[in-house]
Structures are given as C-alpha cells and as structure tokens.
Structure 1
Amino acid sequence: MSTFDLSSSHGGGRRGADRPSVRSGMRPGRRANTTITPQGTPNRRNTELVLLAFAVLVPILAYANVGLAMDNRLPAGMLAYGAGMGALALVAHLAMRRFAPYADPLLLPLGTLLNGLGLVMIWRLDKAGKLLRGNFPAAANQLMWSALGIALFIGVIVVLKDHRILQRYTYISMAVALVLLAAPAFFPSRAEDFGAKIWIRFGSFSIQPGEFAKIILTVFFAGYLMVKRDALALASRRFMGLYLPRGRDLGPIIVVWLLSILILVFETDLGTSFLFFGLFVVMLYVATERTSWIVVGLLLSFGGAALVATSESHVKTRIDAWLDPMAAFSPHPPPGSTEQIGQTLMAFGSGGVTGTGLGQGRSWLIQFAAKSDFILGSFGEELGLTGMMALFLLYALVVQRGLRTAVAARDPFGKLLAVGLSSAFALQVFVVAGGVTGLIPLTGMTMPFLAQGGSSVVANWALLALLLKISDSARRPSAEPTQAAQS
C-alpha cells in the first residue's frame, strides 16, 4: 500500500512513538479493562504562540517599511493595525488551546503571516491608487473580511466536534456545491468581469461561491471515494502498461468532466473548472492508487480544454494572451488583448533578485488587478526573486503540513479529506502563480490569503480550520486499554 493507507478502521490506527501511554495499577483481586488517557503529551500550543508572535511582527515591520518608503514617516495607524491583528491571532490561538489542543502548530501562524502580508501590500497599492482612476481603496474591506474569516475559523474549531460528522452529509454536500457552482451563471456579469460569470452580486455586495464550493466538493469526494474506492480500484484490462478502469467505473469521472466543461461554457471560468476536475482526479488517485486514473484525467482535461478553447471566445482570448503576452504593446494590438500580463512580467524583471523594496516599486501600473489577480507581480517587483521564493515556501509549508495530517489521520475519511483540502489549496496556488508568471493561461482566481477578495480569504480560513480539526484528531494521544491480572 502507499503512504496514504485507507484500510484502517474507524478510530483505529497504529500508535506511534509520539503517543505515549500511562498504565495504572489495579486493586488486587480485580480484573478489568480500563481506558486511561495519557498525560504529559506535548501539544505544541506554546510553540504556536511563539510562531504567531513572529507572524504578527513581520507584517507590522513591513507596514512600517512601506510608510517610511512612501511618506518618510511611520504610518499613523501602525499601532492600531498591529494591535488588531495581534488580538485576532490571540483569540484564534485561545480557541485552539481549548477546542483543538493537539492540532498542528504551524498552520495558524502560516495563515496569519500570509494574510498579514497581503493586507500590507493591498494598503501599499491603495496609497498609489490616487494616480489611477478606478483603483479604489480596498485595505479596509480586506481587513474586515479577514476578521470575518478568522471568526469563521474559530466557529469551525468550536462547533465541529469531530470531522467524521461531515461524512454523513456526503450527498448533501454534492447538491450544495453544484448549486453554488451553477448560481453565478444566472446573474449578469459586468464589463469589469471580462466575460467571466463567477460572482453573485446584490448591489455593492458580491460573493464568489466557487471559493466555498471547493471545500464542500472536497467533503463530497472524500465521502464518496471512501465508500467506492474498492470498486474504482478494479481493472478490466491492461493496455500499454496501464490498467484501464472498467467502463462503468468511468461513470463518476465522466460526470465530473462534463460538469467542468459546463462551467467553462456557461461561466467561462477556467480556474474553477481546472480546480474542480484536478481535485477529483488527485483524490481518485490517492483512493485507488491507480495511475490509469491520472492518465484518463489528463486526457479528458486536455480534450475538454481544447474543445472549449475553439468554441468559447473568452477562453480563446486568454490562451492568445498567454501565447503572446506583449501583443497589447504592438502598434496594432489584436482585439481583446490585455496589457496586464506583459506589465506583470516587466514588474518581475524590474524586481530582479532582491526587489526594489516595499513601497518603492511601480506595480500599481497594472491598475486594479495589482491587488487581486496579479498581486504576485506586486510582490515580485518589491521583494524580488528572493521574496517570491519565501512566499512560495510558506505556501509549500501549508500544503506539506496538510499532507502530513493526511498521513497521520486514523480514519479513511479524514485521510481523504485532508488530502483533498491540501490539494485544493495547492492547485489554486499553482494555477494563480502559473497564470501570473506566464506558465499557463490566466485563470482569474485569487491567490490564497494574499489577494484582494473577501470570499477567498474567508473560505481559506475555513479550509485551515478543517485541516486543524483533522490534525487534532490525528495527533491526539490515544487511550489504551490495560488489564490487571488477578493476584
């Protein structure tokens, strides 16, 4: 079996060296089976507190750096910002101490650090936004959404007693996720959405339901694959060194493929479609350990993308911009060309290895997208290649800790759910970073925690909370039955 062994029973699992037990003696003349809860097992909450202090201090120093660079003085609201961010982090930490004491100590500080750095960059670009029309201030709104995200994080930690409860809602999760994915198609898109229908708007309020659908879909996939993994792992024939699944076993993946194509056609949302389909294929491979599913998934993915690219003008425009990002600067730019990809690549080049310094770049020329889709370009110019590598390392640590949680989980549902949540996070980082750097066509998704977007920051705090609840269950010392012999 692979590292992700899904054969363990409910609540089972091998006891590791980090789960010591305490055996107590029994009174003479008695024989009984007694469950003893181990004491003294380190829960790493003090480590989390120290890391949280560091995660709050770094954005405060970055905030001061921006103020000194742009105004030659410390920002007037620096102390209030630091106190507010520190208070939110402390409340989340206290909730962890009470309701998830054995959870991973790194995930909360990592989310806090990324969220704090994103707030600083959005505020920095707000200050430069006076030079450009339509570059409205967004830092205050982003701070409000970040507070709501941490509140939801605390709510999940407190209310969700056991992650296995979510398994009861497998098919309800599928229905809710499909409704969330389909809903934006029935709302009109605005000119600034560039043809994509991924928002639901009520006046000035908007929400991107796909951010929440990725979490709910992961719950469905985990519950479904835990039950169906044995049937999906069967193979009917061997072809070119691969075990191809039976026709009837292809049903679920065909349905998911068709749904992803429909999202592309009706909502022209390349990012959500890729995330939706890629998430299912990754979880399917982990559940069945069949390489053939990866091959089938890639073939269907490329086939669907090619089909839609030839028939949907919005997707075709994004592919053309990817193939020639500098076309907008030519004397006769083609229709639908955009300057943002070319400007972002120039921002990366301007940053070099060490960057221009916080507050000293010109990435605000990318206009409003500098704070949302292309915020990595802003970081790349002002922090350089070194800063970008540090940011990607932070994201890699989130994914690594999530996968480590999956390995340690004692129940099959928890393993698959942790793999799915970590994979969804990793896929979103990949498609955003790949689109901004020109590796793949631009998808229009937001960089988790960094970019402007209320739905994204709230949903990703909820994702971290679920990972931490699984981690708490996996790392919690298991009680051990002991027997005392009759003397």
Structure 2
Amino acid sequence: MTAVDTGQADTTVVKALRRLRMPQTQRNRELGLLLFAFLINGAAVALVQLGALGHIDWTFLYYCGALTALVLGLHIVLRYRAPQADPFVVPIATVLSGLGLAMIYRIDIGRSISGWEALSTRQLVWLGIALAGAVALVLALRNYRVLFRYTYVSGLAGVVLLLLPFVPGLGVEAGADVWISIGGIFSFQPGELAKICLAIFFAGYLVRTREALSSVGRRFLGITWPRARDLGPLLLIWFASLGIIVLQRDLGTGMLIFGMFIAMLYTATGKTSWVFLGLSLAAVGVAVATQILPYVRARFTNWLDTFNPDTIDGSSMQLASGIFGLAHGGLIGTGLGRGRPGLTPLSQSDYIFPSLGEELGLIGVFAILCLYMVFASRGVRIGIAGQDDFGKLLATGLSFTIALQVFIMVGGVTRVIPLTGLTTPFLAAGGSSLVANWIIVALLLRISDAVRSRPRVVIG
C-alpha cells in the first residue's frame, strides 16, 4: 500500500470515528442543557413558594420531579432512537413549560386554590401526558416521510377536528366555539391538533403542486406575479380561514392557519408575490370581518381605545390591566411570588405573558422571547438542511406556526396588534396546547435526526 493509499485510509477512519462520536456529542450537549433547564425550573418553583408562602412546599416540587423524570426518559429514548436529533429543541421546550407551570402555580397560590380545582395541578397532568405523547411519537415514527403518504388524510383530519365543536353534545359554550367536552370531565381544544394535521397536509400538497405554483407568470412592478389559474389554493385557504372566523368566532386560529399556509407557500415556491397576495387578502379579510362581525369590531375598538374611561372598567379592562401589570414589573420585575398577576382576568392563560412580565420584568420576558426565537430558528434550520422537500416544508411550517402564535399573543397583550384567543406556546394553561406543542417538538426531533443521518433524497 502506498503512502497516498495509507493517508486516504486514515482519513476515512477519522471521518467514520467523527460520525460515530457526533450523535454522542449531540446528546451530551442536550443533557447539559437539560440539567441547566431543570435548575431554572426548580429554582422558579422554589422562589414562587418563598415569595408567596414564605416557605418551600416539597410536595409540589416532588411532582415537578416526576416530570423531570419524563423529560430524562425522552432524552434516553433520543439517545437510542434519534441520536442525531437537534440538541436544543427539548431543553428550550422544557424551560418554557417549567416557567409557565411555575407562574400558573403562583397564581393559584394567590387565589388560594388547591387540589384538582387548581389549574397548576391540571397543567402538571397535561404536561405529563404531553411528554408521554412526545416519547411515544419518537418511538413510533421511525421515518417521518411516512406522513407524506397521508397528505389528504391529514387534511381531512384537520377539517374534522375544526368541526368537532359543532357536534351536538361535544361543543362547549365558551365565547368562541373552539372547545369540546369529553365525558363532561375535561375540555379540549381540537384546533390545536388541527394545525398540525393541516401543516402535514400543506407540506404534502405543496410538494405535489409546487411546479405549477412556482411557474413563471407576469412581471409587474419588479415582481413576478403568479397566473390567475394558480390562485385557487390560496383563495381556498383564505375562504376557509374566514369561515373559521365567522362560524367559530375565532380570529386567532383563522389568522394562524392562513399565515402558516402563506409561509409554507413561500418556502415551496420562493416567490415574494405570494407573500404580498397573502398579506393583501389577510388585510381585506380582517377589514370585512371588522365591518360585519361585532366581536371582531369590539377587539379592534379595545385595541385602539384601550384606556378610554368609558370602557376601561368593562370590555377593555382586561387588556389595560395586563399592560399595567407589565409596567409594574419594570426592568427587573417584582420577583417571583411577590407581584399581583392574579388581578388580571385569565392571567394563567391568555395573559400569562404579562403575568411573567410583572414578576420577571423586562429582562425576564426578553429572555423568554429569545428562547422562542432560538426554538423557531432551530426549526427553520432543520427545514433548510432537510434532505427532501416534504421535510423542509413540514419543519418550516411547524416552526413558523410557533413563532406566529407567539407574535399574535405577545403582540396582543402588549397592544401591538388586536388581541385574539390563542395560547402562548408552552407557557399558558391549557392541555390541548401543551400536547400539540410537544408533538411539534417530537416531529422536529425526528426530522432533524433524519437530516443528519441519511443521504439526501428528493420526494416529489
């Protein structure tokens, strides 16, 4: 064997050893971040108890320890089933879920609520179910490309889930028609799972039709506009989103689904004209809804005239109270357990962000927003590095959904945009939201593992 051959053989061995070490490095990095996340979450709960009770209640900390064990179980599963999965996704989701649980627990203490009536207890149970579901999905879904075969089944499932609140005996009267009650024991919001099903449908559909959608059209004002006959899918999703707003009185879900489709459409075609058309249609839809739907008009009125003396004690009181809470927090906050977030209605769900802002301050909420930014950027990075168009669109769509939902909720409670009825991902009280978001985590883990461990394959 010549010196050149020997050198090539050594290089091959080194590359092979690097490939073997990389999965271990990824998981070790994840474990280190998880230990830091557990420390943050445990400290948050302890500080809440010291601030609100004056002592530490070990019972609730033990329950949180059980959830920690579930997260470690997910980590162990990833070591063996998805060793090259992204190491940042799980720790970020863990920190956000823990901070949300700590704040919900703090508000329950302030209202002297305990037992099953306490939302923190239910959040614990739902978080356990969500983590178990994420573990099960990672174990069961060996190859995410299987979802491509069920494109239209996923679309049908998404539509059915959105229609479930209209089924007699299932729907719950709670403002917007988005809740169902199962056995009268607990309520569930099927729209949270519907967004995942629709993301799978959009990804599969756009892979099949991207050639027609990205075909050359007419160039005007420096932008290549699509042909009129290619506008069908965009108009169909626009009408469907308006249908959700009108029938379910749910402005947030309609905006979320339409925004997700536009983002995935742009990713599939690379044409900015789709974004301009989408934003124009969204503006038209919101303008029409504002004129014909009283509840949408009321949201805009409260947004534009929040501090009006005639409404601040009524319809706009909730928004004004949340803003006052944020202002009370200042730069560094009052400290966990030492504020008064419970004064704001729905402070554990819709207004969880102002609640955290009051006790953690501007620095704390900025850190939370940075965590969301990193989570979304990791998801987009997974999509960009995707080895097939379906995985690329699915990862991008799911990541953008989380980012858009955060923008809608944070923008609403800070009066940047009108407030809509969504949940802040991972933070807000709500079992259906937790389950859906941890399913998104599991899907991103599966896609990222496939991106790093398999050769490039093109689907579609």
Q: Above 0.5 in TM-score?
A: yes
Report SS of the residue matched to 2:224: strand
Q: Does 1:439 align with 2:416?
A: yes
Report SS of the residue matched to 2:260: helix
Residue matched to 1:155: 136
The residue correspondences of 1:230-245 to structure 2 (distance < 5 A) are 230-245=211-226
Question: Do 2:172 and 2:180's aligned partners in 1 also have CA atoms closer than 8 Å?
Answer: no
Residue matched to 1:483: none
Residue matched to 1:225: 206
Question: Do 1:418 and 1:470's aligned partners in 2 also have CA atoms closer than 8 Å?
Answer: yes
Residue matched to 1:97: 79
Partners of 2:388 and 2:296 in 1: CA distance: 41
The structure with more helix, counted as a fraction of residues: 2
Residue matched to 1:484: none
Partners of 2:338 and 2:21 in 1: CA distance: 50
Question: Do 2:164 and 2:171's aligned partners in 1 also have CA atoms closer than 8 Å?
Answer: no
TM-score by structure 1 length? 0.86
Q: Does 1:363 align with 2:345?
A: no
The residue correspondences of 1:339-358 to structure 2 (distance < 5 A) are 339-358=317-336
Runs (5+) with no aligned partner, structure 1: 1-19, 25-34, 480-487
Residue matched to 1:196: 176
The residue correspondences of 1:129-140 to structure 2 (distance < 5 A) are 129-130=111-112, 137-140=118-121
Residue matched to 2:41: 59
Report SS of the residue matched to 1:40: helix
Answer with 77-86 or 373-382: which moved more. Answer: 77-86
Partners of 1:441 and 1:69 in 2: CA distance: 33
Q: Which of 206, 217, 229 is matched with 2:187 structurally?
A: 206
Write the deviation string for residues 45-66 of structure 1: whole angstroms up to 9, x where unpaired: 1111111111111111111111
Residue matched to 1:74: 56
- Aligned residues: percent identity? 44
Report SS of the residue matched to 2:315: coil
TM-superposed CA distance for 1:392, in Å, is 0.3
TM-superposed CA distance for 1:407, in Å, is 1.6
Residue matched to 1:118: 100
Answer with 182-191 or 100-109: which moved more. Answer: 182-191
Q: Which of 458, 461, 464 is matched with 2:438 structurally?
A: 461
Partners of 1:276 and 1:206 in 2: CA distance: 22
Partners of 2:149 and 2:339 in 1: CA distance: 51
Partners of 1:376 and 1:448 in 2: CA distance: 11
Partners of 1:136 and 1:442 in 2: CA distance: 27
Partners of 1:65 and 1:358 in 2: CA distance: 6
Instruction: Give the direction of change, closer, same or farther, for the CA distance of 1:340–1:275 in structure 2 (3 Å limit).
Output: same
Question: Do 1:317 and 1:336's aligned partners in 2 also have CA atoms closer than 8 Å?
Answer: no
TM-superposed CA distance for 1:21, in Å, is 8.2
Question: Do 1:174 and 1:220's aligned partners in 2 also have CA atoms closer than 8 Å?
Answer: yes
Which has the bigger relative contact order, CA under 8 A and spacing at least 6?
1
Q: Does 1:398 align with 2:375?
A: yes
Partners of 2:13 and 2:27 in 1: CA distance: 25
Report SS of the residue matched to 1:333: coil
TM-superposed CA distance for 1:82, in Å, is 4.2
Question: Do 1:37 and 1:477's aligned partners in 2 also have CA atoms closer than 8 Å?
Answer: no
Answer with 235-244 or 90-99: which moved more. Answer: 235-244
Write the deviation string for residues 148-183 of structure 1: whole angstroms up to 9, x where unpaired: 000110011000011111000011111111111122
Q: Which of 110, 120, 127 is matched with 1:128 structurally?
A: 110
The residue correspondences of 1:34-49 to structure 2 (distance < 5 A) are 39-43=20-24, 44-49=26-31
Q: Does 1:426 align with 2:403?
A: yes
Residue matched to 1:414: 391
Q: Does 1:448 align with 2:425?
A: yes
Partners of 1:272 and 1:209 in 2: CA distance: 11
Partners of 1:474 and 1:300 in 2: CA distance: 35
TM-score by structure 2 length? 0.91
Aligned length: 441
Question: Do 1:22 and 1:37's aligned partners in 2 also have CA atoms closer than 8 Å?
Answer: no
Partners of 1:164 and 1:189 in 2: CA distance: 34
Larger radius of gyration: 1
Q: Does 1:337 align with 2:315?
A: yes
Report SS of the residue matched to 1:200: strand
